[in-house]
Structure 1
C-alpha cells in the first residue's frame, strides 16, 4: 500500500478537507499505516497534479478558508486498479527497527535485552489499549458512508490489528522468559 491509495480510499467516501483527511487517516488507518501531516499534504498536492483529485477553496467569513478535495474519475480508476491487484508478494515482509535491534542484541548484555523486551511489552499494551477506541471510531465514521458493508471491513482490519499486537505481546513474554533462563 502507499499513502496515496489510503487517501484515495478515504476520498472515495466523499469530499474532505486536508484537515479532515489527516484526522480520518490517523483515526482509522493508523493500525497499518503511519503518516505525518506534512506527508499527507505533500501527497495530496502530487495527486492533484496527477489528476486523481481536484480541490476547491471554500470561503468562510468566520473561520479561515479551507480547501476541499474530491476524487476524480482517474482517481477512482487508480483506486479500483490498485484494489484489483492480487499482488501479495511482499505482504509477509516485515520492516521493524525493533526486530533488527533484537537480531543483533547479542552485542548487549542479557539484562539490557530483557529491559528492551519489557519496554516493547509495555508498548504492545499501550497499542492494545489504544485499539479500544477503534470501535467508537468505526461507529463515528460509519455515519459518513452510504454503504453499510464498509464498517464490516473496517472492523475486520481492526481485529487483525488487535490479533497482531496480541501476538507481539505473546512473543515479548516468551522472549523475556527465554532470556531470563540465560541469566
Structure 2
C-alpha cells in the first residue's frame, strides 16, 4: 500500500482538510501504515498535481485559512484500480522483512543476557501495541456512527483483527523464545 492510496480512500468518504486527513489517518490506518504529517501534506500536493484531487481554500476570519481536499473522478479511478490490483501486495504482506529478526538470527554473536533483554523489550512493545487497538476500535465506532460509513465498519474491523492476531502471534513466539533460551 502507499500513503497516497490510503488518503484517496479516506477522501472517498468526503471532503476533508489536510489536518482532518492526517488525524483520520492516524486514528484509523496507523496500526498498519505509518506516515508523518509532513508526508501527508506532500502526498496531497502531489496528488493534486496529478489531478486525483482538487482543493479549495476556505477563508476564515478567526482562524488561519484552511484548504479542503476532494476526490476527483481521476482520483476515484486510481483508487479503484489500486484496490483491484492486490496480488503483489499479498506476497509482500506474508513475506517478513525484519531487522529485529535479523538480529535474533545473528544473536549467537552476543551474550545471551543481552538477547533476553531484547526479547523482553520486544514482548513489552507487543503488549503495548495490543493495548493500542482499543483506541483504534473507539475511532471505528466514532467514524462508523456516520451513516455514510456504517457499511465500512466491518472492513475496518478486519484490519484490527489482523493486527491483534499478529500481536498475539508475536507474544506467543517471544514467550517460547525466552523459555527456549532459559533452558540449560
| TM-score normalised over the length of structure 1 | 0.95
1:123 corresponds in structure 2 to: 125
Q: How many residues align?
A: 182
Q: Which moved more, 1:154-163 or 1:87-96?
A: 87-96
| TM-score normalised over the length of structure 2 | 0.94
Partners in 1 of 2:118 and 2:147 — Cα distance? 42
RMSD of the alignment, in Å? 1.2
Please identify runs of 4+ aligned residues in structure 1 that moved more than 3 A: none
2:108 corresponds in structure 1 to: 106
Gaps of 5+ in 1: none
Partners in 1 of 2:57 and 2:104 — Cα distance? 49
- Aligned partner of residue 30 in structure 1, secondary structure: coil
Given the superposition, is the C-alpha separation of residues 17 and 32 from structure 1 closer, same or farther in structure 2, using an over 3 Å criterion?
Answer: same
Question: How many Å apart are 1:11 and its aligned residue?
Answer: 0.5
Q: Which moved more, 1:144-153 or 1:127-136?
A: 144-153
Q: Deviations over 1:127-174 (max 9, x none)?
A: 111111122110111134514220011111111111111111111111
Partners in 1 of 2:168 and 2:75 — Cα distance? 36
- Aligned partner of residue 32 in structure 1, secondary structure: coil
Instruction: Name the structure where helix makes up a greater proportion of residues.
Output: 2
